[in-house]
Amino acid sequence: MTELEKFRDNIDRIDRKLIDLLKDRFEYSAVIGEIKTQQGIPVLQSERWDKILSSRKEYAIKAGLSPEFTEEFLQLVHRESIRIQEEITGERDTNNQ
């Protein structure tokens, strides 16, 4: 195995871990959707989202990552979480954040 192949194998392994972590995160999103349904809480809570985005961008900067990339990535993850919760609650977010 060449040095390049070793690094690519490591990236492949990390990608699988990222996917597993996203799966776990979306499972938690589903449970949260069920709780929101039971408690009559709307899917999108803008104040919470703003806090999450701000704190994660700060964390990303400290980790040496681009805050712009982090925001784009988190927007995608957040949209999927909203979609999952809307499926559970029957709610439809017109802002599509």
Distance, first Cα to last Cα, the chain: 44
22 membership: H or E segment, kind and range = helix 3-39
Write down the pLDDT at residue 69. Answer: 97
Mean pLDDT of 30-45: 96
The pLDDT assigned to 97 comes to 45
Instruction: Walk me through the domains of the chain, giving residue ranges and CATH numbers.
Output: 3-89 (1.20.59.10)
Q: pTM of the prediction?
A: 0.86
3-state class (DSSP) for residue 23: helix
Measured distance CA(94)–CA(54) in Å, rounded? 23
Q: Six-digit token pair at 62?
A: 């400290």
Decide: 86 and 92 in contact? Cβ < 8 Å. yes
